Amino acid sequence: MTMTPSRAVLGARLAGTSTLHLDDDLDPRGRLVVVGNGMAGARLVEEILERGGGEQFRITIFGDEPHGNYNRIMLSPVLAGESHEDDIVLNSHDWYSDNGIDLRAGVRVERIDTAAKQVHAADGSVTGYDHLVLATGSYSWIPPMNGVRKDDGELLDGVYGFRTIDETRALLEATSRCTRAVVMGGGLLGLEAARALQGHGMQVELVHAMPWLMNAQLDAEAGAILKKSVEELGITVHLDILASEVLGGETAEGHVTGVILKDGRRLDCDLLVVAAGVRPHTDVAVRSGLEVERAIIVDDQLRTDDPDVYAIGECAQHRGSVYGLVAPAWEHAKVLADVLTGTNPHAEYHGSRTATKLKVAGVDVATMGINTPQRDEDEFLVITEPKRGVHLSVVIRDDKLVGATLLGDTRKVAFLTQAFDRGAPLPEERIRLLVDLSDGAEEVGVADMPHDSQVCNCNGVSKGDICGAVSGGCGSVGEVMDRTRAGKGCGSCKSLVKQIVEWAADGDLAEDPAASYYVPGIPMPKPELMRAIREHDLRSVSAVFAVLAPDGKDDAKSKMGLTSLLKMIWGHDYLPEKDAEFINDRVHGNIQRDGTFSVVPQMKGGVTTPAQLRRIAEVAEKYEVPMVKVTGGQRIDLLGVRKEDLPAMWNDLGMPSGYAYGKSFRTVKTCVGSDFCRFGLDDSTQLGIDLETRFQGIESPAKMKLAVVGCPRNCAEAYVKDVGVVAVGGGKWEVYIGGAAGASVRKGDLLATVEGRDAVMTLAGRFMQYYRENANWLERTYDFVPRVGLEKIKAVLLEDSEGICADLDAGIQRSIDAYTDPWGQDAEEPATPGQFRPALPLIALPKVPVR
């Protein structure tokens, strides 16, 4: 066995260093001893230090292996030659000494004297404790086979388990002289070992005692597909058979030469890897008189039957379950650290919902919960594509995801894990759990995205930047967005950012309470916030902060959303505060990159007149507007206008604002409809004008763009609008909601087909009000509609399932009544001193090149 010099030296020094500490009697800290320096034991120590436990405890940790703490999960990539063993070190010896921890690496603990509270180790040392934690993990189980062991009980030469770094080193070394390997065990570890050895050019045969591969995680069908994928790699698979004998012990070299299977077949090999499962390490516990069944029995605080002895990780048995995964071990560590340090003396562990995601033998596999339905009412959805090596299934109980198996295609794993862990609502079309039905380009799974691929195009943030923020300590989606600015531009990448953060954090993500807030500065979801605003009669943004914000503190990034909400709630009775508005709303124009503004006069339904055009042309010339542009919303945009020119321009124009700058109702595009078009089925132009007249300027959580078309040819693109109306003949109109053709492209969902103009106006208004009252700040309808669910929206708006339709109609009417044209208003007299004063007086604007 070799160790890199640095680790060896540091390990050797430690025992000496510890004697320099205060004498046991003088150190007032409690003595905490951890037996086991693996992923559970070392994590526990980290969690304890994180909670300030270094002040409370003198910590000693025993490790059977001579190394620091390493990531056992990563042994497969090391064996495959994809990772270097240095890369899998989690805590070097330095880390232990830096944190004042007495690491006894390479020292095996023999027994615990629970009466005297002492740990007896193989080196003869006796260590007293106040609290003892067993984190002894598990070991490779070697099934009984004739000849597998030598007379001295050691494994025959050329036979290895696959559990430790030393075994991995021995296997790596063997690949250079061996040519034929047999791997016993078709579980996760066996498959990974087989794949890694085969990658080193060895001929590999896999022997599995069960009828299909990975039988603990997969059902028979998925196992069969996995077998096919593994065989395609060139690995021979023997299922449902045991090996009875290991050959080679009788030869002069005493080295393995093959195995005999139960049916008499002989497989020649010069390397035998046994990965037939693990068993909890319970020897120490048994010898120490602790209660042990399959593993060491612990209660909800990870305590054994001795009140000062705890067990965590794979050696612990909690409520009948023994886990062989790292996530539960880490959950144990957190709970026990809370208990021991007193951070939360009542912390309890209630079992883990296990989910695994891995690449096994080159195939992506993710499993969580159960893999087959267990009750009559369970929903079970399976998609199987043997040819592509894809098998996907989900089990749903009472509308909650209770199990999922993804083989060969794990693109949906982030969403499913979320749904599984947190009981998130499921799409009504269950198939959407497994495949994307959007007609757009194929979505690339976040795991497969290249590191440097750009996620947030607005702020130039790559997947790597996001992962870096996560590994740099950001523990929630919100923190990552603040750190990297990803998702802070147009916002269309937010869900992707969320997926990447979840993937990068691999389940280690704090639930972000702020994610449910309407605005970051007031810790309340929207319905609660609206109730509080009404209850306290808060009519201005500053009043909301004073009463509802922590310490009454205002928050710049919350002001715009609160202004919008207060306007919606109070209508006329809202108390305006200019500083709570974004600059666009302060001066009723859209700020441009050079600090100039754009002016878009209202042009209802995209219909204009020669007189209006003449006026616009004159104004554009008079104010030397650098660019005049026809917009996508069927209007005319005057770009590059100086702030100080705005009021005079509005005056000269004599037209109302088109609201092209607000988080508000923007515009209604129309086609020429039945007036001129020979295909038009109805008067779409007039309906568009009517809609715009009724709903002009209404503020909303995000902008609302509408369109009306006179026939399904969709010339004004009504299918991809927040509200789109399509004439279908006979006076009937289809109303679509939640469409988008911006940063996201989504065809709207058909809300209803209604008869007559008035019915369209009522339904559109009712939907927009429902959206205004229930959407999060900046949540567009294309996110809102799928989030709430079309069926629910239909029930609420069409069947009045919640009895709120009258309120919705009254709510939108209140906002309609409160409408005033801002240009008419502020052109007369500024709302505040210097409202239109230049913000960059020494810089000649516009800087936009004149075309």
Binding site for other proteins (CB under 8 A): 459, 482-483, 485, 488-489, 521, 542, 553-557, 559-560, 577-580, 582-583, 586, 591, 593-595, 832-834, 837-843
Asked if 584 and 591 count as a contact pair (C-beta separation under 8 A), the reply is yes
* Residues in CB range of 20: below 8 A, 6 or more apart: none
Closer of 306 and 554 to other proteins (Cβ): 554
Closer of 593 and 678 to other proteins (Cβ): 593
Residue 749: closest CA among 716, 726, 766: 726
Closer of 12 and 840 to other proteins (Cβ): 840
User: Helix, strand, coil shares of the chain as percentages rounded to 5?
Assistant: 35, 20, 40
**Closest approach of other proteins to the CB of residue 532, in Å:** 20
In three-state form (DSSP H/G/I as H, E/B as E, the rest C), the secondary structure along 324-367 is CCHHHHHHHHHHHHHHHHCCCCCCCCCCCCCEEEEEECCEEEEE
DSSP symbol at 73 = G
**Closest approach of other proteins to the CB of residue 589, in Å:** 11
Q: Give the relative orientation of helices 413-422 and 494-505 as an angle to the nearest 10 degrees.
A: 70
Helical segments of 536-588, H only: 541-548, 559-570, 583-587
Closer of 445 and 520 to other proteins (Cβ): 520
Closer of 166 and 554 to other proteins (Cβ): 554
Closer of 150 and 557 to other proteins (Cβ): 557
Closer of 54 and 576 to other proteins (Cβ): 576
Task: List the structure tokens of 626.
Answer: 């650098």
Residue 767: closest CA among 747, 744, 790: 790
Angle at 599 between CA 598 and CA 603, to 5 degrees: 135
**Closest approach of other proteins to the CB of residue 591, in Å:** 6
Residue 680: closest CA among 728, 718, 720, 634: 728
**Closest approach of other proteins to the CB of residue 478, in Å:** 13
Closer of 475 and 595 to other proteins (Cβ): 595
**Closest approach of other proteins to the CB of residue 661, in Å:** 12
Angle at 809 between CA 808 and CA 812, to 5 degrees: 85
Task: List the structure tokens of 126.
Answer: 């006796």
DSSP symbol at 255 = B
Closer of 16 and 841 to other proteins (Cβ): 841
Closer of 126 and 839 to other proteins (Cβ): 839
Give the torsion sign (CA, 682, 683, 689, 690): negative
Neighbours of 353 (CB within 10 A): 16
User: Could you give the CA distance from residue 812 to residue 794 in angstroms, rounded to a whole number?
Assistant: 18
Task: List the structure tokens of 719.
Answer: 């299918």
Q: How many DSSP H helices and E strands does the chain contain? A: 27, 40
Closer of 91 and 596 to other proteins (Cβ): 596
Neighbours of 13 (CB within 10 A): 12
| Phi, psi values for residue 157, rounded to 5° | -60, 140
Closer of 416 and 702 to other proteins (Cβ): 702
User: Could you give the CA distance from residue 158 to residue 173 in angstroms, rounded to a whole number?
Assistant: 11
Task: List the structure tokens of 194.
Answer: 């087989």
Asked if 383 and 201 count as a contact pair (C-beta separation under 8 A), the reply is no
